[in-house]
Amino acid sequence: MTGTDKRRALVTGGNRGIGRAIAEGLVKAGLDVTIGVRDVAGSRAVADEIEAGVVACDLAGPDDALPDAGAFDVLVNNAGVLFDAPILSPEARFDEVMAVMLRGPYLLIRRAVPDMTARGYGRVVNLSSDWGSFSEGLDGPGAYGVAKAALNALTLAASREAGAGVKINAMCPGWVRTRMGGAAAARSPAEGAETALWLATLPADGPTGGFFRDRAPLGW
């Protein structure tokens, strides 16, 4: 597609790390990309650099702090938070973690999918983690793993209600060198973004309702 016929994509947390790599990759793939961020003014330079738009998106805020996801053909729920504290302690900040990594994505999906279904095309990619996988021990620290496990469940449930042409999948980027992952991580942001880019641009016969790492199925 070219010009005004470009597919439109929204990437939450697209101003840095894996989110930025996903946004850059989608721009290079020919999509009209918007990054959703809490600080629009502070992220405008990044958006200009990667040739993307920018919109306010506070996943932990009130419902009206979220953008109109129905305008987009591709939704990438990338934004996340990690507090390494026992889940039963106040320092786990359970409500904030669940808002950013479950409730916010849920609201965006709920707003996006009806319009995607009406257009007969949609791709939703939820950035999850093997730390939220029961099959791999649910090893995520604090509330992080619980939120990712719930996001996986949301992925599967939402995929069953989405209309024809709409694909909803989750993926694990692996251990990536970001502010969250740290400098010792094995993968670059571009490597972490690769499976998300694949899922965001799936062909009509691509999978839906799955959980992937390196384009291969990962156990729930």
- Catalytically annotated residues: 144
Of 74, 102, 104, which is closest to residue 165 (Cα–Cα)?
74
DSSP 8-state code for residue 117: H
Distances (CA, A) of 80 to 23, 50, 96: 16, 21, 10
Distances 204 to 50, 105, 123, 164, 168 between C-alpha atoms, Å: 28, 23, 10, 10, 12
Q: At 170, which amino acid appears?
A: A
Cβ proximity of 35 and 11 under 8 Å? yes
Q: List CB contacts of 13: < 8 A, sequence separation 6 or more.
A: 19, 35, 36, 37, 78, 79, 80
CA distance 182 to 107: 30
